């Protein structure tokens, strides 16, 4: 269900697909190949080097057929099924670690691909990594310290609110592999600033022989033995493996039955003038209709993470704009999710997160050219979906 697009926005959306491939071919690809040359554990350590994998999962995604075209970086996710990528960890020795970006390098300064977010598009890589301070460290600086024994990492890029929960923190889960059970101590390295998601969830999902150790961002460290974890998710997809979801639910959810009696509308009113706006311009009209279905409005910036976990644990239905607030469906045993998309193209993070969690998912699209604008919602379309769920 898509709102009308203005002639100007139609022109912008038509030009972008033509410019992106040319820019990528002439500028991004050569720059990244030279400045961010990569390798893999297998290339550096050989095919027989021990690697500890999670089983792959494949789920049907029939809803994709009815969706608008995926935003360009997410097109690889279009399909009638979704299969998780190769998720694993392995021990690498005598490597360099740069906490600011979460990158791990060989002594010859090649970046381990396992320390980079899978399938990240080149424009995002350009913005995230090609900055003067990282390039200076990569090419010229020496390690400030050697950390002996076994270490591991979880922080990296991207690191927004959603990404902390869904992409970064879950990497710690791979330390629970039986292969690491007999190690006396694993130092889990982290750098400030940390988010509530890290402070609350990481200590609950790492094994007993793991200990959190702070390092300084913007430095290089030499690590004697690093348990290098891949990302459990990938660019455009919040699909988390079932083993991780089981661990999270066992350790982080309230020790009581879920009431499933909250109908939550996530307001982004406080984001209206921020960098990642996504405020709903006709929110008053929208919420007027939502109230008829028993919804309450929540500005999640006003709640601690513990309070948000309790709130979403009792959720029956969640309605909200594309943004970090929807991330908290992670703590809902069973919830209807209605995502209000900004653009006429699908942004797919929360669809695949909902798919992993087993939550019913619906969407209504707007018509903006990018995902950082305030936008208006097709209220009748929202009402029609809610009628299906709540009569």
Domain spans, the chain:
36-47+86-237, 254-390
- Residue-level pLDDT, tens digit, the chain, 391 residues: 444 556 665 666 666 666 767 767 777 778 777 788 999 999 999 999 999 999 999 999 999 999 998 887 889 999 999 999 999 999 999 999 999 899 999 999 999 999 999 998 777 777 777 666 888 899 899 999 999 999 999 999 988 999 999 999 999 999 999 999 999 999 999 999 999 999 999 999 999 999 999 999 989 999 999 999 999 999 999 999 999 999 999 999 999 999 999 999 999 998 877 777 899 999 999 999 999 999 999 999 999 999 999 999 999 999 999 999 999 999 999 999 999 999 998 899 999 999 999 999 999 999 998 888 999 999 999 999 999 999 8
Q: Report the alpha-carbon distance of residue 227 to residue 103 in Å, rounded.
A: 13
Helix, strand, coil share of the chain (percent; to 5) = 40, 25, 35
Beta bridge partners of 298: 266
Q: How far apart are the first and last CA of the chain?
A: 20
Model confidence, pTM = 0.91
Report domain 254-390's class. Answer: alpha beta
pLDDT in the model for residue 5? 56
Structure tokens at 16: 């972008």
CB-based burial of residue 248 (10 Å sphere; 0-12 exposed, 13-18 middle, 19+ buried)?
Answer: buried
User: Any idea which residue has 């200990």 for tokens?
Assistant: 211
Q: Report the alpha-carbon distance of residue 324 to residue 366 in Å, rounded.
A: 18
Q: Report the alpha-carbon distance of residue 217 to residue 364 in Å, rounded.
A: 40
Q: Which residues contact 353 (CB under 8 A, 6 or more apart)?
A: 166, 238, 239, 240, 326, 327, 329, 330
Residue 213: name the closest of 142, 154, 161 by CA. 154
């Amino acid at each position: 269900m898509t709102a009308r697009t203005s002639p100007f926005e139609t022109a912008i959306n038509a030009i972008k697909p033509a410019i992106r491939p040319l820019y990528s071919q002439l500028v991004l690809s050569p720059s990244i190949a030279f400045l961010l040359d990569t390798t893999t554990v297998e290339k550096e350590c050989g095919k027989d080097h021990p690697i500890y994998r999670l089983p792959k999962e494949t789920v049907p995604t029939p809803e994709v057929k009815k969706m608008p075209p995926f935003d360009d970086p997410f097109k690889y996710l279009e399909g009638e099924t979704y299969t998780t990528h190769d998720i694993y960890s392995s021990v690498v020795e005598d490597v360099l670690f740069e906490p600011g970006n979460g990158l791990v390098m060989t002594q010859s300064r090649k970046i381990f691909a396992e320390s980079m977010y899978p399938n990240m598009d080149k424009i995002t890589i350009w913005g995230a990594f090609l900055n003067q301070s990282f390039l200076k460290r990569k090419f010229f600086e020496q390690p400030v310290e050697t950390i002996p024994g076994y270490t591991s990492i979880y922080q990296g890029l991207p690191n927004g609110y959603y990404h902390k929960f869904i992409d970064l923190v879950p990497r710690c889960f791979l330390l629970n592999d039986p292969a690491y059970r007999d190690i006396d101590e694993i130092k889990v390295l982290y750098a400030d600033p940390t988010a509530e998601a890290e402070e609350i969830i990481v200590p609950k999902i790492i094994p007993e022989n793991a200990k959190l150790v702070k390092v300084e961002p913007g430095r290089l460290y030499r690590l004697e033995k690093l348990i290098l974890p891949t990302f459990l998710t990938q660019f455009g997809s919040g699909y988390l493996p079932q083993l991780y979801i089981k661990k999270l639910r066992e350790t982080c959810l309230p020790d009581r039955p879920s009431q499933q009696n909250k109908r939550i509308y996530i307001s982004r009113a406080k984001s209206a003038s921020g960098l990642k706006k996504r405020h709903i311009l006709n929110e008053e009209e929208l919420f007027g209709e939502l109230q008829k279905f028993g919804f309450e409005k929540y500005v999640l910036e006003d709640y601690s993470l513990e309070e948000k976990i309790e709130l979403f644990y009792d959720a029956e239905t969640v309605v909200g704009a594309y943004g970090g607030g929807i991330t908290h469906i992670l703590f809902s045993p069973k919830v209807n999710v209605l995502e209000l998309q900004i653009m006429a193209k699908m942004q797919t993070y929360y669809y695949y997160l909902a798919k992993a969690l087993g939550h019913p998912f619906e969407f209504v699209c707007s018509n903006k050219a990018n995902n950082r604008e305030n936008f208006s919602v097709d209220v009748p379309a929202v009402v029609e979906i809610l009628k299906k769920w709540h009569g």
